[in-house]
């Protein structure tokens, strides 16, 4: 048997977000011939954790453990036990499994030059499915100097994601303020006897949750935080599904 210890990474900071190698603000003159080749999520294959936003907790909890990491208690979904994504099937996301919003947003992202400046739509020039005008493959980003429907949709999606990110930051700050989080790790044994450990994450302590002041419980019930906590707690049962997926992957490689 072998032992492997993995730690879900905290979501990267805005200066270098996870997956993005060369984010550039889009300009109709400089990127007039750029295109996007649809259909690949291979960029997410070599990670075991993906940032999550509160608006997707309900769906994500049905498929992945929702955990908290880092000093800011940023939520992530665990998509693997080792340092690989168990939900990538070739270059596609696993069928009948929720694809996190962070994955669906890529290769687009909002950028901000100064703290109070407007957001600009950017694209990861280093993404393998971004065609920098070298051929006619893919959907154009601009036509006659104007954004295509593809870019309009990306702008709306990034706008929604940015708003959700701010709501997520507020939720994380609230659970930290109530000192609800505790460090956790898990030890698992795969079907072939291989042992693995996952650490470096936090979960809500149910005992501390039960002792929340009544006024906080009422406020969280009304603003949705209580439901988010329960989505997180129910999602922890999905670790069993991760173990089964990891076991199947190990068996396939044997």
Residue 90, phi-psi category: left (phi > 0), alpha (psi -120 to 50), beta (remainder): left
pLDDT of residue 181: 98
pLDDT in tens, 55-102: 999 999 999 999 999 999 999 999 999 889 999 988 899 999 999 999
Q: Residue 170 above 50 pLDDT?
A: yes
Query: Are 104 and 158 within 8 A, CB to CB?
Result: no
Query: Are 80 and 48 within 8 A, CB to CB?
Result: yes
Mean pLDDT of the chain: 91
In this prediction, residue 9 has a pLDDT band, given cuts at 50, 70 and 90, of very low
Q: Would you list the domain boundaries of the chain?
A: 3-253
Query: Are 198 and 24 within 8 A, CB to CB?
Result: no
Q: Can you say how many angstroms the Cα of residue 35 is from the centroid of all Cα atoms in its chain?
A: 24
- Residue at token pair 């990474």: 9
pLDDT in tens, 155-169: 999 999 999 999 999
In this prediction, residue 118 has a pLDDT band, given cuts at 50, 70 and 90, of confident
At residue 110, the 3 state secondary structure works out as strand
Query: Are 60 and 235 within 8 A, CB to CB?
Result: yes
According to DSSP, the β-strands at 119-124 and 23-25 are antiparallel
Average pLDDT over residues 3-18: 47
- Global pTM? 0.90
- Alpha carbons 84 and 253: distance in angstroms, whole number: 14
Q: How far apart, in Å, are the Cα atoms of 128 and each of 31, 152, 229? A: 16, 21, 37
């Amino acid at each position: 048997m072998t032992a492997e210890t993995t730690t879900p990474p905290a979501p990267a900071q805005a200066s270098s977000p996870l997956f993005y190698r060369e984010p550039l603000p889009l300009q109709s003159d400089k990127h007039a011939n750029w295109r996007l080749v649809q259909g690949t999520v291979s960029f997410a294959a070599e990670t075991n954790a993906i940032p999550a936003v509160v608006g997707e907790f309900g769906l994500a909890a049905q498929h992945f453990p929702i955990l908290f990491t880092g000093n800011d208690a940023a939520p992530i979904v665990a998509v693997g036990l080792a340092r690989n994504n168990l939900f990538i099937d070739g270059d596609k996301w696993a069928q009948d499994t929720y694809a996190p919003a962070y994955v669906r947003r890529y290769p687009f992202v909002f950028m901000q030059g100064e703290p109070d400046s407007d957001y600009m739509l950017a694209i990861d020039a280093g993404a393998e499915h971004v065609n920098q005008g070298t051929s006619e493959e893919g959907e154009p980003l601009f036509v006659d100097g104007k954004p295509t429907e593809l870019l309009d949709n990306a702008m709306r999606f990034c706008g929604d994601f940015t708003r959700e990110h701010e709501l997520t930051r507020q939720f994380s700050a609230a659970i930290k303020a109530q000192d609800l989080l505790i460090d956790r790790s898990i030890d698992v044994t795969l079907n072939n006897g291989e042992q693995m450990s996952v650490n470096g994450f936090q979960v809500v302590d149910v005992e501390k949750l039960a002792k929340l002041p009544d006024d906080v419980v009422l406020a969280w019930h009304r603003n949705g935080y209580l439901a988010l906590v329960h989505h997180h707690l129910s999602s922890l049962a999905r670790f069993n599904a991760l173990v089964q997926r990891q076991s199947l992957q190990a068996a396939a490689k044997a």
